[in-house]
A = this chain, B = another copy of it.
Amino acid sequence: MTGVASKCNYSCVMTPDTPGTARPGGRTARNTAAVLQATLDELGEHGYAALTVERVAARSGVHKATVYRRWGGADGLVAAALEWSASRTWEPERTGSLYTDLLALARAVLHGFTEAPEGAVSAASVAAAFASPRVAEALRVFMVDRHERAAVVVAEAAARGEVPEGTDPAQVVRSAIAPVYYRLFVSREPVAPADLRLAARVTADAAARGAFVPGG
């Protein structure tokens, strides 16, 4: 085992077990942890464009051929990192009203895509999804999970009578956060606090008026 030892900068808690494989024992698990940690560190420091299997291999101390065998390439590393991120439980902030909940949600999205370390992984996933069907699928699963978790704020708004029964929670969530993604990745404009407030306000008002009830 030559090579440089892993330089762990942040979020050093990495699940050391890999259940489901034929031999989930010590060394394989250690390699998995080291490689994923190195992937996170590399993404955080240099971004997805500079993510190289060779660098990850050198940093983790795992041989290059092993990384290729188990993850297939840079996209496989990103997909694995994203799946690991998805395993971390997440729950939306509760603030008392739908508007403020959606605003907090939009802020969380902005934060989660711009701040390290999750920001690097998330942005890398969006970028890698263009080139890798595997990453695209992992990203889709991740986003569906986030939609379902965020739906709670809509359900509670319905329970409070803020929005009518039958409101589609996922559509409300999408409407509130889509402008953030649009500015971040498509139009490449800066995202101002006023933009977040506008999206949350428009969405909350529309939801209150029943715009997100499928039938009516």
Q: Which residues of A (169-188) have their CB < 8 Å from a CB of B?
A: 171, 174-175, 177-179, 181-183, 185-188
Pairwise interchain contact B187-A143, C-beta atoms closer than 8 A:
yes
A130-B49, A130-B126, A198-B212 known; A179-B175 Cβ under 8 A: yes
Q: 0/1 per residue, A94-111, Cβ < 8 Å to B?
A: 000000000000000000
Give the distance in Å from the alpha carbon of A214 to the alpha carbon of B130 in the complex: 35
A49-B131, A182-B178 known; A211-B198 Cβ under 8 A: yes
Residues on the B chain within 8 Å of A127, using CB: 127, 130-131
User: Which residue from chain B places its CB closest to the CB of A50 in the assembled complex?
Assistant: B131
Pairwise interchain contact A174-B185, C-beta atoms closer than 8 A:
no
A199 at interface by CB-CB < 8 Å: yes
Residues on the B chain within 8 Å of A139, using CB: 186-188
Give the distance in Å from the alpha carbon of A123 to the alpha carbon of B201 in the complex: 30
Q: Which residues of A (44-81) have their CB < 8 Å from a CB of B?
A: 48-49
A206 at interface by CB-CB < 8 Å: yes
Q: Give how many copies assemble into the complex.
A: 2
Pairwise interchain contact B203-A126, C-beta atoms closer than 8 A:
no
A115 at interface by CB-CB < 8 Å: no
User: Which residue from chain B places its CB closest to the CB of A125 in the assembled complex?
Assistant: B186
Pairwise interchain contact B185-A185, C-beta atoms closer than 8 A:
yes
A147 at interface by CB-CB < 8 Å: yes
Residues on the B chain within 8 Å of A203, using CB: 202
Q: Which residues of A (144-170) have their CB < 8 Å from a CB of B?
A: 144, 147
User: Residue A174 contacts which of B123, B177, B187, B211 (CB distance < 8 angstroms)?
Assistant: B187
Pairwise interchain contact B186-A143, C-beta atoms closer than 8 A:
yes
- Return the 8 tightest CB-CB contacts between A and B, nearest first: A127-B130, A178-B182, A49-B131, A178-B178, A143-B187, A140-B188, A202-B206, A178-B179
| A to B CB contacts below 8 Å, 16 in the list | A48-B130, A49-B130, A130-B130, A130-B185, A139-B188, A140-B187, A140-B189, A144-B187, A147-B187, A174-B182, A175-B179, A175-B202, A178-B181, A181-B182, A198-B212, A202-B203
